[in-house]
Chain A
Amino acid sequence: EDQVTQSPEALRLQEGESSSLNCSYTVSGLRGLFWYRQDPGKGPEFLFTLYSAGEEKEKERLKATLTKKESFLHITAPKPEDSATYLCAVQEETSGSRLTFGEGTQLTVNP
């Protein structure tokens, strides 16, 4: 059973067209939820960590939010350089410090 599910798998936006990416998770106890950006052939680049429902974090055009069952990554007025795969990962209370990743959402922003 998948613990972390991301949707959509792929998303195409026009420059300036805001949207949201979803990460649904099923864990017995959440220690942290992490968002990463991954460019082709590169390692995941850390964006945000969220710990409890209701928490929000922002960085430039990105805003991450967390509920008890899912997290959203909101992208406001995206630019072509925001094109990447966005990964969600969870750390469970019962699984030490390992991260469990979702499949990712591949975002393409057209100029």
Chain B
Amino acid sequence: EPEVTQTPSHQVTQMGQEVILRCVPISNHLYFYWYRQILGQKVEFLVSFYNNEISEKSEIFDDQFSVERPDGSNFTLKIRSTKLEDSAMYFCASKLPRVYSVGNYGYTFGSGTRLTVV
């Protein structure tokens, strides 16, 4: 079964450093997302990306965050200057448009990157 792949699985960084989280979505999917989950809290939407541009972003996704799809397969989330409160699990997700989906349609999530800011 196709998977969304995320690397690294765990990243430790010092406060103020830049980090790049990487994702390889399912190859024929067209919509891409980043979510995060702070320990013990709910999964929160960060940003959606379609047709090589941001289609929607949440209040969390401020100027410190950016996304890119540099080569048609990878999808990255960059945090320019990390803060302690950025420590969380970051999940990448992808999906097809519903009209192209058959059966039980849904968003596919990766296994996540655990970001620890010290």
Hey, which bits of chain A sit against chain B, CB under 8 A?
34, 36, 41-49, 57, 59, 87, 89, 95-104
Closest to B90 in A: A43
Given the contacts A43-B109, A45-B109, A104 and B104 also touching, CB distance less than 8 Å: no
Q: Is the CB of A97 within 8 A of B111?
A: no
Q: Is the CB of B109 within 8 A of A101?
A: no
Q: Mark B94-115, 1 if CB is under 8 A from A, else 0.
A: 0100000000111111111010
Q: Is the CB of B31 within 8 A of A42?
A: no
In the complex, besides A34-B106, A47-B106, A99-B35, 6 extra interface pairs with C-beta distance below 8 angstroms are A42-B112, A44-B91, A45-B109, A48-B104, A48-B106, A87-B43
Q: Is the CB of B48 within 8 A of A44?
A: no
Given the contacts A34-B106, A46-B106, A87-B43, A98 and B112 also touching, CB distance less than 8 Å: no
Q: Is the CB of A44 within 8 A of B45?
A: no
Once the chains are docked, how many angstroms separate the CA of A99 from the CA of B106?
11
Once the chains are docked, how many angstroms separate the CA of A65 from the CA of B35?
26
Query: Which A residues touch B42, using CB under 8 A?
Result: 101-104
B14 within 8 A of A: no
Query: Which B residues touch A103, using CB under 8 A?
Result: 41-42
Query: Which B residues touch A98, using CB under 8 A?
Result: 33, 45, 48, 56, 58
Once the chains are docked, how many angstroms separate the CA of A42 from the CA of B43?
12
Within 8 A of A (CB), among B40-68: 41-45, 48, 55-56, 58
Once the chains are docked, how many angstroms separate the CA of A45 from the CA of B110?
9
Once the chains are docked, how many angstroms separate the CA of A110 from the CA of B110?
28
Among A87, A89, A99, A102, which residue has the most Cβ atoms of chain B within 10 A?
Answer: A99
Closest to A35 in B: B106
In the A-B complex, list the 3 residue pairs whose CB atoms are closest, starting with the nearest: A43-B109, A46-B106, A101-B43
Q: Is the CB of B43 within 8 A of A46?
A: no
A20 to chain B, nearest CB (A): 20
Once the chains are docked, how many angstroms separate the CA of A41 from the CA of B112?
8
